Amino acid sequence: MSFSENQNYRVFLRRKEAAFDVWHHYSLICGGYPTKGRNRAILATGDMYNAATDQWSELPAMANARCSFAAKVLNDYLYVTGGVGVGSTALSSCERLQLGVPGAQWRFMANLARPRYGHCLFVLRDKLYVCGGCSRDGVPLTGIEVYDPALNRWSSVRPLEGRGARAAPVSACATFTVSNKTLR
């Protein structure tokens, strides 16, 4: 089945405030909520597109349905952090899924120090860093947290300071190409 004929393709394009990352030749997307139809429930599901075979497959459902969160692959694990859960609750939870292992399930890891949504997650020197976003009450966050997978622990890093330092939610508009079709 080609990319354009695959039913998951349509689901993929109709997610809002979902998170995605890439792993080898796979595009991964999870969470968010449908942009079409009456059901606007936050999703725990995810999909994985294999660019080498032009096929979609489902990821196991996350323990927490979430939107406005961040996802990043580190050492063949897909990590998801924070976001907004069911009932519009800001989350501090962190989950990870081991990729490439049949039957793997999401597992809770240490929580972030503060609940946050709309944040950025990046990898540096085999650690995850989370920054920006907003707190439970919508206040922009300046603090940075770092996750050490070997210790399963988040630590706070000195907040952004100094002249011109401002807190602001982080948002991103992602565009990437799969099978010569640009997705926005």
Is the confidence at residue 3, as pLDDT, over 50? no
Averaged pLDDT, 157-168: 56
- In eight-state DSSP terms, residue 50 is E
Averaged pLDDT, 68-88: 95
Tens digit of pLDDT for each residue in 86-144? Answer: 888 899 999 999 999 999 999 999 999 999 999 999 999 999 999 999 999 999 998 89
Positions of E strands within 24-143: 26-30, 33-34, 46-50, 55-59, 70-74, 77-81, 84-85, 89-90, 94-98, 107-109, 120-124, 127-131
Predicted local confidence at residue 159, as pLDDT: 65
Averaged pLDDT, 83-87: 92
**Closest to 142 (Cα-Cα) out of 122, 163, 165, 126:** 165
Predicted local confidence at residue 95, as pLDDT: 98
Tens digit of pLDDT for each residue in 19-61? Answer: 999 999 899 999 998 877 677 789 999 999 998 998 989 999 9
- Which residues lie across from 90 on neighbouring strands? 84
The residues spanned by each domain of the chain are: 7-178
What is the CB neighbour count within 10 angstroms for residue 22?
Answer: 12
Check whether domain 7-178 has CATH 3.30.1600.10, yes or no: no
Predicted local confidence at residue 85, as pLDDT: 93
| Amino acid letter for position 180 | N
Predicted local confidence at residue 90, as pLDDT: 94
